[in-house]
Chain A
Amino acid sequence: MKRLWLILFLLLPVLPVRAAGDLDMNAYLFGHVGDAYEWHITTINEKEIVIPLPCIVIENGIHVFTLHHAAENGYALNADGKLVNAATGMRPIDISITKNVAGLIFDSILLCVLILLCARWYKRHDVLKEKPTGIAALFEPLIVMIEQDVIKDAVGPEYKRFSPYLLTAFFFILINNLMGIFPVFPGGANITGNIAVTGVLAVFTFLMVNLFGDKHYWKDILWPDVPIFLKAIPIMPVIEILGMFTKPFSLMIRLFANMLAGHIMLLSVIALIFLSAAMGPVLNGSLTVIAALFGVFLDCLELLVAFLQAYVFTMLSSVFIGLAHQKPAHETN
């Protein structure tokens, strides 16, 4: 059996492959990692399989239509692929359910269902008499690991107040990362590789840090323990206030860049297959094998990154929250 597979594998490079048309690399890449007004699943024999999504536009009232009927409603796509008023060329207030929003909704429902099912298990079973089974057994180790090893250690004694937010952030990022790797509908939307999504997550962390920071935290920012000449001309306060914003900003960029880079890497490797189609069957076949192997490797790497980035985001958020609750150094030492 093994040998049969090996033979098939070695024959693969010489199999004739029908050369596809020229690949528009830009459209290919950005079509996959970007947002869209409809969910393009695949194209079979020139026939596009697309899930239409509602475009919602607020301009003199709310207009709801699909992209297919945009022209009838007086809207058109501009060069960036955004809806604009066909007559004036201006961007309306656009709250369309785009591909990313649809993905977000689907993943969020999935996450809520999974976690609520897990919570239901604990409600219906006596935790002192039974060991977790099914979905509870799947999630409990993860939840315990994040809460005890990450949140508790980083936030400190008050961690119970913040653990619901941090756990939500972790699982939200994790499920969106994983669904982003899954290539078939309803996965494949590049949600956490979108700066708007990571930005909102970072803003939530920013609010969590600053709304619940104690007086030591604000004193450290506005009147830190440094020589007076650093405060008279407010160099240190300015740096500290800047630091308030750079921390969540780094969270936003880190998650966004990592996930986007992962998607682009995978897509580029897969693109090798189509790019080499014009170079003859042997080269194309060999590159196909290489690209497939490399794709497997990158997918495994992306699985790791999906978990790692969710973990890092949660850990750093915990650390920032913990920093806003610590006792000043001269009191503890």
Chain B
Amino acid sequence: MSLITPDFGLLFWMVVIFGLVFFILAKFGFPIITNAVQKRSDHIADSLKAADEAQARLAGMAEEHARMIEETRLEQSRILKEASQARESIIAQAKEEAAAEAAKLLEHAKVEIAAEHESAIRDIRRQVAMISVEVAEKIVRKELDAGSGQQDLLDRLVEEASQAQIPN
């Protein structure tokens, strides 16, 4: 048998057999296997992607968490600062008001004292004037008894007394 001349019988059977094997395996064999493997590798790829996303989300959440803590801390210090500011301002205001009140009272007292003082002086003056008039009356009465030319003096005294009247 020559090695390089293809034999018809073998050619025929090879076509038949290989055709059959091809048909069977291409229809019932390899597509099932490759599809299943493809399905699995797709599933693995999807799962990996999902895991990646979950991890990214987790990292985002941790970041968010840290950010929130930071914000809370800032808020806390701001509130504390505001509170202390409010306290100080209230105290300062109270002090100011107290000082103003005190000053007002003092002023009032001063005015009153001044008024009292004035009226006391006026009283004293009136008393002094009355006393002076009485004294003068007594002296004048005595003088009048003594001389005629006393009429002039009397007039002059009356004049003076009227002028010495308190303006009010």
Q: A196 contacts B6, CB within 8 Å?
A: yes
The complex places the Cα of A136 from the Cα of B18 at a distance, in Å, of 23
B103 interfacial by beta-carbon distance below 8 Å: no
Q: B29 contacts A97, CB within 8 Å?
A: no
Interface segment among B8-16, B53-61, B93-101, B106-114: the answer is B8-16
Closest to B1 in A: A34
A19 interfacial by beta-carbon distance below 8 Å: no
B36 interfacial by beta-carbon distance below 8 Å: yes
Chain A residues, Cβ within 8 Å of B10 = 35, 98, 100-101, 194, 196-197
A223 interfacial by beta-carbon distance below 8 Å: no
A-B Cβ contacts below 8 A, count: 129
The complex places the Cα of A30 from the Cα of B2 at a distance, in Å, of 9
**For A81, A97, A98, A260, which residue has the most chain B Cβ atoms within 10 angstroms?**
A98
Q: B17 contacts A119, CB within 8 Å?
A: no
A33 interfacial by beta-carbon distance below 8 Å: yes
A315 interfacial by beta-carbon distance below 8 Å: no
Closest to B11 in A: A196
Chain B residues, Cβ within 8 Å of A59 = none
Q: Contacts A34-B3, A127-B39 given; indicate if A97 touches B13 (C-beta within 8 A).
A: yes
A111 interfacial by beta-carbon distance below 8 Å: yes
The complex places the Cα of A112 from the Cα of B3 at a distance, in Å, of 28
The 9 A-B pairs of least Cβ separation, nearest first, read A164-B26, A196-B6, A122-B36, A196-B10, A115-B29, A200-B14, A119-B32, A101-B13, A127-B36
Beyond A143-B37, A168-B29, A197-B10, 14 additional pairs, beta carbon < 8 A: A80-B2, A101-B10, A101-B13, A108-B20, A123-B32, A127-B36, A140-B33, A140-B37, A143-B33, A164-B29, A164-B31, A167-B34, A196-B10, A199-B11
Within 8 A of B (CB), among A1-58: 30, 33-35, 56
Chain B residues, Cβ within 8 Å of A200 = 11, 14-15, 18
Q: B9 contacts A95, CB within 8 Å?
A: yes
Return 29 A-B CB contacts under 8 Å, by A number.
A33-B3, A35-B10, A56-B9, A80-B2, A82-B1, A94-B8, A94-B9, A95-B9, A104-B14, A104-B17, A105-B17, A108-B20, A115-B25, A116-B24, A119-B32, A119-B33, A127-B37, A128-B43, A140-B33, A140-B37, A144-B37, A163-B30, A167-B25, A167-B30, A168-B25, A168-B30, A172-B21, A195-B6, A199-B6
The complex places the Cα of A115 from the Cα of B31 at a distance, in Å, of 11
Q: B8 contacts A168, CB within 8 Å?
A: no
**Interface residues as binary, A90-119 with B (CB distance below 8 Å gives 1, 0 otherwise):** 000111111011001100100110011011
Q: B17 contacts A139, CB within 8 Å?
A: no
Chain B residues, Cβ within 8 Å of A260 = 3
The complex places the Cα of A33 from the Cα of B32 at a distance, in Å, of 37
Q: Contacts A127-B37, A128-B39 given; indicate if A168 touches B9 (C-beta within 8 A).
A: no
Q: A118 contacts B9, CB within 8 Å?
A: no
Q: B1 contacts A30, CB within 8 Å?
A: yes
A307 interfacial by beta-carbon distance below 8 Å: no
The complex places the Cα of A94 from the Cα of B15 at a distance, in Å, of 15
Chain B residues, Cβ within 8 Å of A144 = 37
Q: B40 contacts A128, CB within 8 Å?
A: yes
B145 interfacial by beta-carbon distance below 8 Å: no
The complex places the Cα of A240 from the Cα of B24 at a distance, in Å, of 34
A147 interfacial by beta-carbon distance below 8 Å: yes
Task: Give how many A residues have a beta carbon under 8 Å from the other chain's beta carbons.
Answer: 51
Which residues of chain A have a CB within 8 Å of any CB of chain B? 30, 33-35, 56, 80-82, 93-98, 100-101, 104-105, 108, 111-112, 115-116, 118-119, 122-123, 127-128, 136, 139-140, 143-144, 147, 163-165, 167-168, 171-172, 194-197, 199-201, 204, 260
The complex places the Cα of A97 from the Cα of B31 at a distance, in Å, of 31
Chain B residues, Cβ within 8 Å of A100 = 10
Within 8 A of A (CB), among B88-132: none
Q: B18 contacts A143, CB within 8 Å?
A: no
Q: A201 contacts B18, CB within 8 Å?
A: yes
Q: How close is A80's CB to chain B, nearest CB, in angstroms? A: 5
B7 interfacial by beta-carbon distance below 8 Å: yes
Q: How close is A264's CB to chain B, nearest CB, in angstroms? A: 10
The complex places the Cα of A96 from the Cα of B12 at a distance, in Å, of 10
Chain B residues, Cβ within 8 Å of A56 = 9
Q: How close is B32's CB to chain A, nearest CB, in angstroms? A: 4
Closest to B21 in A: A108
